[in-house]
Amino acid sequence: MISDPQPLKEPQTMRAGPSQEDIRRHNLGALLRHVHLGGPISRAELTSKMGLNRSTIMALTSDLTAAGLVREELPRETGRAGRPSLVVRPESARVYVFAFDVGPDRLVAARVGLGGVILDRRETTRERGKFALDELAGVLSGFARQMRRKTRDDTVCVGAAAAVSGGVRKGDGVVTFGPNLMAHDVPFGEELGRRLGLGLPVSVGNDANLAALAEHSRGVGVAVRDLICLHGDVGIGGGIITGGHLLGGFDGYGGEVGHMVVNPGGRECSCGSHGCLEAEVGERALLELAGRYGPGQHGRDAVRAVVDAADRGDIVAQEALSRVGDWLGLGVANLVNIFNPEMVIFGGMLREVYLGSAAQVRSRLALHAMAPQREHVRLRTSALGDHATLVGAAELAFAHVLADPLEVLARVSI
Ligand SMILES: [Zn+2]
């Protein structure tokens, strides 16, 4: 579901007999990753975290400083005697990527600086309906141009990526299916790249996969190597990280947990099947059960209204959440049995649904998940909230730079 072959995780262990240049490239990427994800850090801390000696760290930071990716400063107050260790900071205002989020109800574009800082952002609502490639790519590239005009002369765009609520073919950014976006075989990455005119490819990823990566990199799942992120919008998407790596599957469509059948013979699903998790737990199911489904009644606000009504004692809303929570818990129990995650994260509209039905989810988990898998699993809500998919897109865009910082910088023009 990620169109980009670059891994977002730490660079792999070097193969036998790497050249000095390979090692240097690997170390530059690893150091930049520390600064990008962890923020300002002293040379002394880098020395200890990376297991390299001081002179190597100094050489690496010098290279990255000369390239304009980081800068080094004296720390403000150390409170300690002796010469303080220089602090390495990302050049967030200078080096940036464009991140895009295409959801059923909104389009978002952002300029995100190295270090993950959202420097500028544009958003517009989208009418649910056909995926009009020209129109969508036009709106997003227009936003990017507006933001670019406001940048200083010395800034450099090093990548671009988009999160899309649909299935994305590995390698070429084609959105092959997206029932909730009404997209079918749309060459989205190629078209957006052409419109942006930056000479950069646009990587495309499934929104739930990118939400999982975002929570893993910067959210509630930092340092958690086995997690499942369930992301709800109109439908339900999933991102599965196992052993620190996103599960993609053979064609890149792995992790479609929304179409796991939990209720054979149940509600009709947008995929053509019946009783999928998405059909039983998604927005429409909840609103119908709560007696609130109808024209103009959709989106995050409508879901939140059901949860609020249940909190205020509305019996119909409480029963709707309880029913949906049962199916959600059943789905989570299956996933826990299969993947043995350390954490399950509920994001997008599922954050609200989970908060309103946690008791049902937990009781289903207790009933259906096997004890050894159930014992350590933590159920959490997204820390990044509505930003998760956009943050994930930005991380996808930065992946090239972190894999080979100097090569990317040599390729892009200021
Ligand atoms: Zn389905």
Q: Which tens digits make up the pLDDT trace of 18-34?
A: 888 889 999 999 999 99
- How many angstroms separate the alpha carbon of residue 263 from the centre of ligand 1? 11
Residue 412: pLDDT band (50, 70, 90) is low
- 260 C-alpha to center of ligand 1: Å? 7
Ligand 1 centroid, distance to 280 Cα (angstroms): 10
Q: What angle do CA 320, 323, 326 make, to 5 degrees?
A: 145
DSSP one-letter code for 387: G
Q: Which residues surround ligand 1, an ion (CB under 5 A)?
A: 259, 269, 271, 273, 276
Q: What DSSP state is assigned to residue 83?
A: P
Does residue 8 carry a pLDDT above 50? Answer: no
The CB density around residue 339, as the number of other CB atoms within 10 Å, is: 19
Whole-angstrom distance, CA of residue 188 vs CA of residue 173: 6
* Residue 24 alpha carbon to ligand 1 centre in Å: 47
pTM exceeds 0.75 for this model: yes
Residue 89 pairs in a beta bridge with 71
Query: What pLDDT is stored for residue 9 in this prediction?
Result: 46
Contacts of 345 (CB under 8 A, 6+ apart): 212, 215, 219, 220, 221, 227, 228, 229, 230, 380, 381, 382
Q: Which residue has the tokens 């078209």?
A: 191
Task: Give the Å distance between the CA of 292 and the centre of ligand 1.
Answer: 22
The Å distance, Cα 325 to ligand 1 centre, comes to 18
Distance, CA 382 to ligand 1 centroid (Å)? Answer: 23
Stretch 267-284: mean pLDDT, rounded? 94
Task: Say how many C-beta atoms besides its own lie within 10 A of residue 13's C-beta.
Answer: 7
The percent of residues above 90 in pLDDT, for the chain, comes to 71
With a cut of 80, say whether residue 184 has pLDDT above it: no
Residue 93 binned pLDDT confidence (cut-offs 50, 70, 90): very high
Span from the CA of 124 to the centroid of ligand 1 (angstroms): 28
User: Which pLDDT value is given to residue 159?
Assistant: 95
Does 81 have pLDDT greater than 80?
A: no
Whole-number Å distance, alpha carbon 253 to ligand 1 midpoint, is 14
Compute the distance from residue 115 Cα to the ligand 1 centre, in Å: 37
C-alpha neighbours within 13 Å on the C-beta side of residue 95 = 25
Q: How many CB atoms lie within 10 A of CB 376?
A: 11
Report d(CA 281, CA 285) in Å as an integer. Answer: 6
Helix (H) or strand (E) holding 249: none
Give me the percent of the chain exceeding a pLDDT of 70: 93
407 Cα: distance to centroid of ligand 1 (angstroms): 42
Secondary structure class of 124 (helix, strand, coil): strand
